[in-house]
Each structure stands twice: as structure tokens, then as C-alpha cells.
Structure 1
Amino acid sequence: MKSLYELCQVRQDVFLDNQQDDALDLANLVDGSIDAKKFFSENYITEGMNTLVDMAFQRFSGTGARGLIRLKQSMGGGKTHNMIALALLAKYPALRRGI
């Protein structure tokens, strides 16, 4: 079995001084400061995120039954991250094919 170190190599750009060192927030969507392609290239799409995206786009298309999706993770659980991912996919349809 491989070690965690072998499985999770840190990208070298993480150590560059010119990289963003703050977490994104929803205001970054409003001001357009998120590079959508870079966001998805740097983030792992979890099963939960896939479920959220599927449910939301079903609702957007009028085929989903749920009108409300409650994100109930605790602080640091990825709620904002998931909302940013969903908003970027809604805003940039071409990115959906890769996800």
C-alpha cells in the first residue's frame, strides 16, 4: 500500500509567493476574480459535490423535484466551495463537459 505522502504530492505552485493565500468567498463570484478553469484544475470534485451539481442542474432544467438544497456541513465543511463550484458551472457551460 502506498503512503499518504506518495499519494498526495503537493503541487509546486503552492509554494510560490504570488499565489492566493486566502480562501475564496462568494464575493469573489460577484467581482469576477475567480479563474474558473484554474479553480477546477486545482480542486478535486467529490462525490458530494457531484450530487449537489446533479441535483441543482436537474432543478435548473425543471426536471428535479427539490426546490431547496440545504448544505449542512459544519464550519470548514466546504459549503462555500461547493456554492462557488456550482455557480462557476452555471456561468460557464463549457466547463461542465470536463466535470
Structure 2
Amino acid sequence: MSITRNIDRQKGIVTITIEGRFDFSEHRPFRDAYRDVPPSGMRFLVDLSGTTYLDSSALGMLLLLREHAGTESDRVTIRGCTDDVLRILKIANFDRLFTLA
């Protein structure tokens, strides 16, 4: 499992890429990927194209990112979901809280 971050200050986008399992063991690396970035003027993109599994703690971590970024649904975009991951996000009604691309 790895979490990487890329900040494009010109576009105002922080991309957080998650590879492998996204579960509680990734709480600290995920939080560290965004907590030092001031949310004003920035949008966050979570790339789950390499994510093979996520659990309820991962859903909670995404909610913490949303709280950090601001509650508007366009502040955090989740992209690249596999069918299984997308199904979990929709069951949890995350399509109402985030932009799913």
C-alpha cells in the first residue's frame, strides 16, 4: 500500500493517489497527505484507480478530508474507482457528498 501526493499550485489541485488496500493502517499517511495544505483556494482529487479494497475506516478518512477541504461537494473529487469500490461508495451515499468521476 502506498499513498502519494502531488500539489499543482497553479491549478489549485492536490492529488492523493492510493495504491492497494485503503484501510485503517493508512490513516496517518492519508491524513499527512492533506493536513499541511491550507484548504482555501485548493481542491482535492483522490485517485483510487489503483485501490483494490476499502473498508469503513477508509470511508471515515474520506469524510475527514471533506471536513478539511470544505463541505461543498466539488471541493473533493474521487476518481478511478473500480466497480466494487464505486458500489461501496454509492451504498454509503458518497455520491451525494463527493464528486465521483
User: Which entry has the higher C-alpha Rg, 1 or 2?
Assistant: 1
Give the structure with the higher percent helix. 1
| TM-score, normalisation: structure 2 | 0.27
Give the structure with the higher percent strand. 2
| TM-score, normalisation: structure 1 | 0.28
If asked which structure has higher relative contact order (CA below 8 Å, sep 6+), I would say: 1
